[in-house]
């Protein structure tokens, strides 16, 4: 099915782990277990995953998904240091679909990170204060982007998937 093929392609691009699983793991079993694919679609996907360019596609995916946060919560990203990689992986698992409105995406990440820290996620001691400062600026920008004058939260409330 075309929709399943496309979903698999997007999921693979978003997940180097899934690519590795397909490449080295149970080989031809991983994708059919998750997606309804014709034999031809499976062959195409296996060829794509095994192509050296897949690593570049995964890298560009991550660069682009990080772009809203790099623009809007740069201090938080820097302060997270080596913790950033595992954290954004978890965030992207919770929100597999990036939001094209960069302030919504950044606001969503700030809320998610705040919850993680409150639940005991170990981060550098300066992170919470930087996060609160930048989250406030993002929220203000998000409110300002509502050009019909209504508060953002009256337009739509972000909800975890």
Partner 1 sequence: MPRSLPRPRVGLLYNPTTPRVLAYANGLVEHLSVMPDRLWFDFGSEAPPGRRFHRVHDAIARVAEDLVGRSFAGHGLGLSLPSAIPLDEEMVAAGAAISRDLGGFAWHAEHLNLFIAPRGSVPNAQAGLGLPVIYDDEAFDLMAAKLRVVADAFACRILLENGSFFTPVPDLDYTEPEFLNRLLHAGLSGTLLDLHNLLVSARNGGMDPVAYLDALDLDGVEEVHLAGGDDHEGFYMDSHSTVTPDVVWELAYEYLPHCGNLKAITFEYQESYFDDLGLPTLAAELERIHALAEACGRPAEVARAG
User: Under the rule (CB under 8 A), what is the footprint of partner 1?
Assistant: 1-3, 5-7, 9-11, 13-14, 40, 43-44, 47-48, 51-57, 59-61, 64-65, 67, 96-101, 103-104, 145-148, 150, 155-156, 159
Shortest distance in whole angstroms from residue 147 CB to partner 1: 4
- DSSP, collapsed to helix, strand or coil, labels residue 100 as coil
- DSSP, collapsed to helix, strand or coil, labels residue 38 as coil
Nearer to partner 1, 127 or 142 (CB): 142
Nearer to partner 1, 20 or 59 (CB): 59
CB half-sphere exposure, 160, CA atoms < 13 A? 11
- Report d(CA 49, CA 130) in Å as an integer: 39
Nearer to partner 1, 46 or 117 (CB): 46
Q: Over the Cα atoms of the chain, what is R_g? A: 18
């Amino acid at each position: 099915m075309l929709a399943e093929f496309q979903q698999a392609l997007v999921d693979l691009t978003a997940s180097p782990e899934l690519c590795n699983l397909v490449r080295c793991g149970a080989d031809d079993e991983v994708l059919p277990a998750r997606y309804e694919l014709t034999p031809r679609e499976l062959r195409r996907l296996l060829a794509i995953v095994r192509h050296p360019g897949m690593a570049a596609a995964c890298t560009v995916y991550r660069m682009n998904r990080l772009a809203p946060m790099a623009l809007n919560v740069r201090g938080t990203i820097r302060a997270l240091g080596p913790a950033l990689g595992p954290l954004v992986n978890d965030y992207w698992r919770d929100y597999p679909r990036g939001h094209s409105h960069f302030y919504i995406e950044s606001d969503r990440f700030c809320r998610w990170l705040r919850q993680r820290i409150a639940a005991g996620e170990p981060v550098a001691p300066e992170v919470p204060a930087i996060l609160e400062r930048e989250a406030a600026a993002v929220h203000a920008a998000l409110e300002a982007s509502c050009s019909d004058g209504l508060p953002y939260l009256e337009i739509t409330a972000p909800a975890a998937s």
